[in-house]
Amino acid sequence: GEDVEQSLFLSVREGDSSVINCTYTDSSSTYLYWYKQEPGAGLQLLTYIFSNMDMKQDQRLTVLLNKKDKHLSLRIADTQTGDSAIYFCAETLYNQGGKLIFGQGTELSVKP
Amino acid sequence: GAVVSQHPSRVICKSGTSVKIECRSLDFQATTMFWYRQFPKQSLMLMATSNEGSKATYEQGVEKDKFLINHASLTLSTLTVTSAHPEDSSFYICSAPAGGLGDTQYFGPGTRLTVL
């Protein structure tokens, strides 16, 4: 079945790198996404990766995809207090009309 | 990036009343929109897929008579919570795919519904 899992909490110090991990079960994933949600707000798309890619880098964000292990990670370099939020990974499956399947979300806390 | 708006952002109503929430794609057309529900500290649960010009597709366990969806145009979908009760209190978020590479979905800012 479709299942996306994330660890619930991560705490880092300002300036350190953060790595948020996600695992998924369905091998028919087409795209995998990372969204950021601040309190009381909607979801902001951070980045996405096509399922046949291994890595994607966009400024401070690096996405790594290990398709064999069905493991996705998001690395945030030089983490700032403004990065404190909940981060959701999500996948879309082939031929599902764009329906997103979300993980539980990882709450990132950045301490000064 | 593409912009999706929701209205209202926050609504408080009495039990038994109906509440309508609008979702608009501001700078692109969307034949499909998605409605999610999110409880505090939890993930998003897909409620239904809104299809322009046809009936919505509801996820298992979601009451279609309770949550009425209308996709009246290529830029507007509405979710009406009928005869709302306190257990319907939640954060409702819509999204729309903007097409293009990745078929990425853009989310509205959400509507906080509180039923007294």
Looking at the DSSP bridge assignments, the partners of residue A106 are A87
Q: What is the pLDDT of residue A39?
A: 87
Contact A33 B104 (CB under 8 A): yes
Q: What is the pLDDT of residue B100?
A: 59
Written as tens digits, the pLDDT of chain B (116 aa) is 678 999 999 999 999 999 999 999 998 888 899 999 998 888 899 999 999 988 999 999 999 999 999 998 999 999 999 999 999 999 999 999 877 555 678 899 999 999 99
Residue A27 or B4, more confident: B4
- Which residue from A65, A71, A69 is spatially nearest to A48, judged by alpha carbons? A65
Q: What is the pLDDT of residue A76?
A: 97
CA distances from A12 to A18, A19, B6 (A): 7, 10, 33
Contact B43 A105 (CB under 8 A): yes
Mutation site, A30, A87, A92, A100, interface B, largest B CB count within 10 A:
A100
Tell me: pLDDT of A27 over 80.
Answer: no
Q: What is the pLDDT of residue A47?
A: 92
- The phi and psi torsions of A81 (rounded to 5 degrees) equal -60, -30
Per-residue confidence at A2, pLDDT binned at 50, 70, 90?
low
Contact A102 B103 (CB under 8 A): no
Q: What is the pLDDT of residue B102?
A: 56
Q: What is the pLDDT of residue B103?
A: 66
Please measure the distance between the N-terminal and C-terminal CA atoms of chain B and give it in whole angstroms: 37
Contact B43 A104 (CB under 8 A): yes
| Entry field: residues in chain A | 112
Contact assessment for residue B108 and residue B4, using Cβ atoms and an 8 Å cutoff: yes
Contact A50 B102 (CB under 8 A): yes
Partner residue facing B106 (CB), from A45, A88, A104: A45
Arithmetic mean of pLDDT, A35-62: 91
Q: What is the pLDDT of residue A6?
A: 94
Task: Please list every residue in chain A whose beta carbon sits closer than 8 Å to the beta carbon of residue B6.
Answer: 42
Q: What is the pLDDT of residues A51-110, one digit of tens each?
A: 888 999 999 999 999 999 999 999 999 999 999 999 999 998 777 777 888 999 999 999
Task: Please list every residue in chain A whose beta carbon sits closer than 8 Å to the beta carbon of residue B1.
Answer: 45
Partner residue facing B109 (CB), from A31, A41, A50: A41
Contact A41 B97 (CB under 8 A): no
Q: Is B112 on the interface with A (CB under 8 A)?
A: yes
Q: What is the pLDDT of residue B22?
A: 97
| Whole-angstrom distance, CA of residue B2 vs CA of residue B12 | 29
The residue in chain B having the minimum alpha-carbon distance to the alpha carbon of residue A104 is B43
